[in-house]
A = this chain, B = another copy of it.
């Protein structure tokens, strides 16, 4: 497995699992009507990476400042793991990469703005990696299977 900067050529290989994950309705509040064209700017930028193995993209992450200006010393990141590649540590590797990336870039902390409380695998992983739940906005995510559930704000210093 290796992690590298994503290029425009990678997007057609990210889009299928991006779309599958957004449509599943359990983890991300992206617009519901995205296409391969309109979704691209929601995910792809200069700090988007992919994890690949044997030429197959198994996951992707994006990262950068959580806010501009006087909030730019705190970073944030988003992660997508191809459902076909679950259970193989892809999310953990991408998260470790993002932590190192933020540390190297001089950020003071990392904030996740909206971790769905029923996404227990993600919550457990972030806790393992030192993130704490700052608070939970009640009912802020309309989960496809659970209905309205909370969104955690999670944070860790670097």
Contacts and interface: CB of A to CB of B under 8 A. Distances in A.
Contacts of A135: 133-136, 153
Interface stretch (A56-64, A70-78, A88-96): A70-78
Given A153-B134, A155-B137, A155-B138, A114 B29 contact: no
A70 B153 contact: no
A43 to B, nearest CB: 13
Interface stretch (A5-13, A47-55, A141-149): A141-149
Interface of A: 22, 25, 28-32, 66-74, 108-109, 111, 113-114, 133-144, 148, 151, 153, 155, 157
24 contacts: A22-B69, A25-B70, A28-B69, A29-B70, A29-B72, A30-B68, A31-B69, A66-B140, A70-B141, A70-B142, A71-B141, A71-B142, A73-B142, A73-B148, A108-B139, A108-B148, A109-B138, A109-B139, A109-B140, A134-B134, A135-B153, A137-B153, A138-B155, A138-B157
Given A29-B68, A29-B69, A71-B151, 13 more contacts: A30-B69, A31-B68, A31-B69, A32-B68, A32-B69, A32-B70, A71-B141, A73-B148, A111-B140, A113-B113, A134-B136, A137-B153, A137-B155
